[in-house]
Structure 1
Amino acid sequence: MMTSRRKIIYVATVYLRAVHDGRDPLYAVCEWFRVTRATAGQWVSRSRELGYLPTPPLCGHWPRLTRWDDGPISSAWIACEACMNPWPCTQADTIAWLERLPRML
């Protein structure tokens, strides 16, 4: 099944916005387009192939789940991988990637 370039850019936009917001990006694509996880995964892969999404492993200012565990008390939050500041950090790479996408939407 062929997917249009426009849809692939749209997928990349939904994916990156979800990453920036600290949500599960693949789930966001599934939910937005009402498709299965397998279909969303194919579209995300195609976005990466065409250069609209970065290829893992990601290094730099990307969100990562951070956990603090101190016995019976534990918590988790999203922090920047590079600077460890709470997400979103002021140097978030998601913003740079979103700005690279063509303004089609």
Structure 2
Amino acid sequence: MRELQDVIKDSIQSIDQTTKLFYQQKTKEGYEELESTLNFLANTMDGIFTYIKAGKNIGADENKLVQLLTDSMNAMEKKDTILLSDILQYELKELLENILEVI
């Protein structure tokens, strides 16, 4: 499942770039990078859920993954870039890293 590993790594790298910009208060640049991050995350989620449908264990709770994505969307709706960055950097990224170790 090398392809999924690469997609997850790309998502993690994109999360790092986006959150760095938001933490530096570079909001405009952060939102521009966020677009790319969301595309990576969409591909990652598709891959993860395909992996799960195939009966394979990802080593993480699917519900937790969905909840983190929901929390991220809520932070985006509120335009709270710091909360969004915290969720992406300290929760979602950690979960993706755990999945990466399992697959």
Asked if Structure 1 and Structure 2 have the same fold, meaning a TM-score greater than 0.5 normalized by the shorter chain, the answer is: no
TM-score of the superposed pair, with normalisation by structure 2? 0.43
Name the structure where helix makes up a greater proportion of residues: 2
Name the structure where strand makes up a greater proportion of residues: 1
Whichever of the two has the greater Rg, that structure is 1
